[in-house]
Structure 1
Amino acid sequence: MIFCRLLSCLLLVGRSTAAKNAEILALRHEVAVLRRQVQRPRLSWADRAVLTALAKHLPPVLRRHRLVTPSTLLIWHRRLVRWKWRQTAIRSGRPPLPQETVALIQRLGTENPTWGYVRNQGELRRLGNRVAAATIRRVLLRSGLPPAPQRASQQTWRTFLHTQAHTLLACDFMHVDTVFLKRLYVFFVMEIATRRVHVLSVTAHPTGAWITQPARNLLMDLDDRAGRFRFLIRDRDSKFTATFNAVFAGNGTTLIPTPPQNPRSNAFAERWIRTARTECTDRLLITGERHLRTVLDQYAEHYNAGRAHRGLDLRAPDDDPNVIPLPATTVRRRQVLGGLLNEYHPTPPRPPYRSQETPSSAA
């Protein structure tokens, strides 16, 4: 900026006095116009330095009518003095909590909505953190978490799904258009905890009676495990009649209708529909009900036993989570649906071949 100002001064030397006076008058008028529009301009430190240096060469009368007056220059000087002699403020009181402790308090408050401040204090002490209950209250309120009674009453649908996943079933309908432009409907049920899918029935004319009998068959197939499921999530379709509700009510299962126009309330079933379409039905030409039932039976078997799931630590629903497979020397591929899907299974290494010793060699 200094170089540009010096260069402009050198250029002004060659100009006539009349031109300079005309430019000064034009600049004064422009400044007057801008002052009517801008109440308080913002100046940088470079602008302040240039105006301070040029103000020394102006007559005292002209200094009072500038954008920067002598009083403003004195204010800038006092600010510089304060900035030079300022000291870092020393905060009084207790030192702040470490970020790890704050994150742990927020985690305990979020994951345990029924825990009060003293209960969180006791849990933190067991984990080796001595924090006062008032501090825990302040941290939780700052994070937007109300006291325990309010947090317990504000249970969201997502929290309900996570806490009750092992007792939840979800059902829904899926439609597939055949090669002859005929629409078929598929009724399926999913176990939320294990993501296991049961394809119950396929038809072109869905009715209330059509889904009632497959519901009875499902409870018979579940046998002893049927008593574990306390809730069934379904939408508000008219095909879910009172007879269908009575089948699960006899098993002690409570039916929970999803809110209107809220597919996220049945997110697990909706996700399976998208997965089945992406991996299976959208890549095949379906000819009829029998063909679709065969395809979906094979895909459900692959989904339950041969497909890794993100929500299950990259395991299949039928995999034993306590078994760690040993490394295999040979990996074999099994094609599903004519090569549309692939499953890979390890083959354990064969034991080394031992030749049988003859009696004469042993002797």
Structure 2
Amino acid sequence: MIFCRLLGCLLLLGRSTAANNAEILALRHEVAVLRRQIESPRLSWADRAVLSALARQLPPVLRRHRLVTPGTLLNWHRRLVRWKWRQPPTGPGRPPLSEETAALIQRLARESPTWGYVRIQGELRRLGHRVAAATIRRVLRRSGLPPAPQRASQQTWRSFLRAQAHTLLACDFMHVETVFLKRLYVFFVMEIATRRVHVLGVTAHPTGAWVTQLARNLLMDLKGRAGRFRFLIRDRDSKFTTAFDAVFDGNGTAVIPTPPQSPRSNAFAERWIRTARAACTDRFLITGERHLSTVLTRYTEHYNSGRAHRSLDLRAPDDDPNIIPLPAATVRRTQILGGLLNEYHTTPPRPPHHPQEAPSSAAWSEY
């Protein structure tokens, strides 16, 4: 731009004085018109440099009517001084919280609904993070998580059942159609925590007295473990009489009837019925009560000891969670119910067999 302006000045030297004066008058008038329309024009750095250089060559009277005045030049100089000595901008207060720490705060609040801000602060300090309680409150509020009392009151049925699973029993009836189109009823009880199933009886005519006697047999079979169960979930079938409830009340187990026509309230028992039918009873032609009792007893043993469960981290109910099986070279199959189901077990390798060597002649001589 400077080169273009210098070239224009050289061209002006070849023009007459009258032409230059006429052009100057025309430019002044155009500038006056533009000033009436634009109050504060925006100038680039190049425009300011050219106007500053040319303003020094004008007489003092004409400098007063330029866009660049001495006061403007002084303001530009002050701005340059400020930019020279300014420091990089820094936000007020403490540095921002990292996303990993904020995610950890949200995780602690969701997994522990009874923890308040100070409790979460203490847990973070034990994990090596120093965060103020006000920061924790701000993070939870921004993520839509209420304070501890409200989070605890918003507990879902899934989390409630998971927390109370070790004290819950669930019972229900399962019906099976025989080959002679006769309906048989199966009464079973499930331990919710371990998913262990107890098939208590099979009959074609269930009654309240029959179910009550099966409840007594169950408590006798559980022996010392019967006292750990605090609640029993059952539906509103008429065969669950007052005497049936009294058996469990004597054991300290409260009976909780499900709402009418709400099978999802007893979802664990309903899910076992679906599993037993798909894997066992729907693939058999049941002839009678004895046949059905034998089949379900063998299937229940397989369900409790040889079937992996998703809710138990792919373990069987009778497996020890503290034992990690090691891979073995030999895997053996055990057929159940005539090959309808298979169980696979690892066999440890046998130690090498060393036949006894015949005694040497020296040994015979010593003998």
**Is the TM-score greater than 0.5?**
yes
1:120 aligns with 120
1:45 aligns with none
Q: Which runs of 5+ in 1 are unaligned?
A: 1-88
1:154-200, Cα deviation, whole Å (9 max, x unpaired): 33221111111111111111111112222221111111111110001
1:331 aligns with 331
Q: CA deviation at 1:128?
A: 1.4
Instruction: Trace 1:140-289 onto structure 2 (pairs within 5 A).
Output: 140-289=140-289
Q: CA deviation at 1:93?
A: 6.2
1:307 aligns with 307
1:69 aligns with none
SS at 2:216's partner residue?
A: helix
2:101 aligns with 101
Q: CA deviation at 1:292?
A: 1.0
In structure 2, the CA distance between the partners of 1:214 and 1:125, relative to structure 1 (3 Å rule), is same
The separation in 2 between residues aligned to 1:201 and 1:361, in whole angstroms, is 71
In structure 2, the CA distance between the partners of 1:284 and 1:132, relative to structure 1 (3 Å rule), is same
Q: CA deviation at 1:358?
A: 2.5
* Worse-superposed segment, 351-360 or 297-306: 351-360
2:317 aligns with 317
The separation in 1 between residues aligned to 2:289 and 2:213, in whole angstroms, is 18
Q: CA deviation at 1:123?
A: 0.9
Aligned residue type for 2:211? I
Q: CA deviation at 1:300?
A: 0.1
Contact 1:157 1:265 in 2 (8 A): no
The separation in 2 between residues aligned to 1:290 and 1:124, in whole angstroms, is 61
The separation in 2 between residues aligned to 1:179 and 1:299, in whole angstroms, is 19
Contact 1:190 1:198 in 2 (8 A): yes
Aligned residue type for 1:344? Y
Q: Which runs of 5+ in 2 are unaligned?
A: 1-88
Contact 1:211 1:244 in 2 (8 A): yes
The separation in 2 between residues aligned to 1:142 and 1:188, in whole angstroms, is 48
Aligned residue type for 1:195? R
Q: CA deviation at 1:95?
A: 5.0
The separation in 2 between residues aligned to 1:151 and 1:240, in whole angstroms, is 37
SS at 1:171's partner residue?
A: strand
Aligned residue type for 1:317? P
1:258-304, Cα deviation, whole Å (9 max, x unpaired): 23333332222121111111111111111111111111000000001
In structure 2, the CA distance between the partners of 1:343 and 1:160, relative to structure 1 (3 Å rule), is same
SS at 2:119's partner residue?
A: helix
The separation in 1 between residues aligned to 2:252 and 2:213, in whole angstroms, is 18
Contact 1:200 1:214 in 2 (8 A): yes
The separation in 1 between residues aligned to 2:124 and 2:146, in whole angstroms, is 19
Aligned residue type for 1:160? F
Q: Identity rate of aligned residues, in percent?
A: 83
Instruction: Trace 1:13-28 onto structure 2 (pairs within 5 A).
Output: none
**Which of 1 and 2 has greater Rg?**
2
User: When the two structures are superposed, what TM-score results if normalisation uses the length of structure 2?
Assistant: 0.70
Contact 1:169 1:233 in 2 (8 A): yes
The separation in 2 between residues aligned to 1:179 and 1:120, in whole angstroms, is 62
In structure 2, the CA distance between the partners of 1:134 and 1:303, relative to structure 1 (3 Å rule), is same
Give the paired residue count.
Answer: 276
The separation in 2 between residues aligned to 1:104 and 1:260, in whole angstroms, is 42
The separation in 2 between residues aligned to 1:92 and 1:133, in whole angstroms, is 19
Aligned residue type for 2:318? D
2:50 aligns with none
1:111 aligns with 111
User: When the two structures are superposed, what TM-score results if normalisation uses the length of structure 1?
Assistant: 0.71
The separation in 2 between residues aligned to 1:144 and 1:182, in whole angstroms, is 57
1:52 aligns with none
